[in-house]
Structure 1
């Protein structure tokens, strides 16, 4: 699928600002993927075109075509980029096994890069309509859940198991979505605090059973 929005557009202050940006040496492809994430997060997947990405990144339309070749390739590579970036910045697994460290900084993560979070939800919905995207979306969520399960198994006296892991991760995922759309940082922090209290109680209960 190719970009069909090649008609000339008037120059705006926003486009002039973007045109003033320059993609740094050696980061061209990554910069274009970040621009694609921003376009989808702010305008939806149907607005993801070569021209929209080029405008967002402050580069030529031809450079985007050169790097990706098709809109489908651009979508799939942007999703793969989101998978790599999200896992590397995930706060689900502190490694300490301390309840107070679990999901620490979740609200700050949402505030720091809301576009990356919104992009993932956009693609999650798009995967319902495009089966070819499901495996990458599934891989993203599998990585999230695996990190959650490893950390919960450090916190609890016994392995967390898939059911509890899915429950806890779903709660955190819902908090991120709520903060993105309706809530505030304080709402997320308060809810995470309550979740930690539940985990403390569960850790004590499981420990007592093992004695």
Structure 2
């Protein structure tokens, strides 16, 4: 008689890791199944916890969505620069493609929320906050390099990076992204010279 090894299972989060594990699971559920399928039950199943624990940590679905967005932005805002605090234009967006390849769920989650905000206006403040955070991080990083960046310029660069990330998430490859990001970095460098 042949025995079959059971499929590997994920273990439940350790004590003190529950909230972070729930946020990662929420991002994963939304990235894979859409925002409308983010339920306490689906989240509990993904995180291997009880749905009572989900309610304990977040109280409402809206609070869960807001916390998951903050979590995903925190994970991805670091991609603004591979050498944060230097203002080096060569480092701006340099690790973006690798970040998306290593962890596409954060960006897919954000796009799901952005698209759902068209149908649910109450989500728009979250989307506005998302883009404000990215613009602010870019402006701060550029200021370290002596580049004065207003809101419009930050918006243009974030929109360009956003479009490249969206294409990478949607198409599953980044054929032109590296060259396009290099172009953006050269443009930033020209502002210093």
Q: Normalising by structure 2, what TM-score?
A: 0.84
Q: Distance in 2 between matches of 1:99 and 1:72?
A: 37
Q: For the Cα contact (< 8 Å) 2:97–2:165, is it kept in 1?
A: yes
Q: How does 1:181-200 map to 2 (within 5 A)?
A: 181-200=170-189
Q: For the Cα contact (< 8 Å) 1:152–1:165, is it kept in 2?
A: no
- Paired residues in the alignment total 187
Deviates more, 1:159-168 or 1:91-100: 91-100
Aligned to 2:65: 75
Q: From the superposition, tell whether residues 65 and 199 of structure 1 become closer, same or farther in structure 2 (CA, over 3 Å).
A: closer
Aligned to 1:28: 18
Q: How does 1:100-115 map to 2 (within 5 A)?
A: 100-115=90-105
Larger Rg: 1
Q: Distance in 2 between matches of 1:77 and 1:159?
A: 32
Q: From the superposition, tell whether residues 85 and 100 of structure 1 become closer, same or farther in structure 2 (CA, over 3 Å).
A: closer
Q: For the Cα contact (< 8 Å) 1:108–1:185, is it kept in 2?
A: no
Aligned to 2:133: 143
Q: Distance in 2 between matches of 1:86 and 1:194?
A: 21
Q: Distance in 2 between matches of 1:72 and 1:111?
A: 28
Aligned to 2:38: 48
The alpha carbon displacement at 1:193 in A equals: 1.0
Q: Normalising by structure 1, what TM-score?
A: 0.77
Q: How does 1:88-107 map to 2 (within 5 A)?
A: 89-92=78-81, 94-107=84-97
Q: Distance in 1 between matches of 2:8 and 2:37?
A: 20
The alpha carbon displacement at 1:183 in A equals: 5.0
The alpha carbon displacement at 1:194 in A equals: 1.5
SS in structure 2 of the partner of residue 39 of structure 1? helix
The alpha carbon displacement at 1:37 in A equals: 0.7
Aligned match for 1:118, one of 87, 108, 121:
108
The runs of at least 4 aligned residues of structure 1 exceeding 6 Å deviation read: none
Aligned to 2:148: 159
The alpha carbon displacement at 1:60 in A equals: 2.3
The alpha carbon displacement at 1:143 in A equals: 1.4
The alpha carbon displacement at 1:102 in A equals: 1.6
Aligned to 1:176: 165
Give 5+ residue unaligned stretches, structure 1: 1-13, 205-211
